[in-house]
Amino acid sequence: MTTRAEAFDDLVVDTAQRFRGVLGRRWEAVEFAVEDIPPSDPAGWEDGVPLARMWPAEGALPARIVVYRRPVETAARGVEPVDLVHEVMVEQVALLLGVDPDEVDPDRR
Q: Which domains does the chain have, with CATH numbers?
A: 4-38+49-103 (3.30.2010.20)
The stretch 52-60 carries a mean pLDDT of 93
Residues 36-58 have a mean pLDDT of 82
Looking at residues 10-22, what average pLDDT do you find?
Answer: 89
pLDDT at 6 over 90: yes
Closest CA to 68 of 52, 83, 90, 86: 52
Tell me the one-letter amino acid at 42. Answer: P
Query: What's the rounded Cα separation, in Å, for the pair 8 and 67?
Result: 10
At residue 61, the pLDDT reads 92
Residue 43: predicted pLDDT: 61
pLDDT number for residue 31: 93
Q: How many CA atoms lie within 13 A of 84 on its CB side?
A: 19
Which tops the pLDDT comparison, 98 or 19?
Answer: 98
pLDDT at 94 over 70: yes
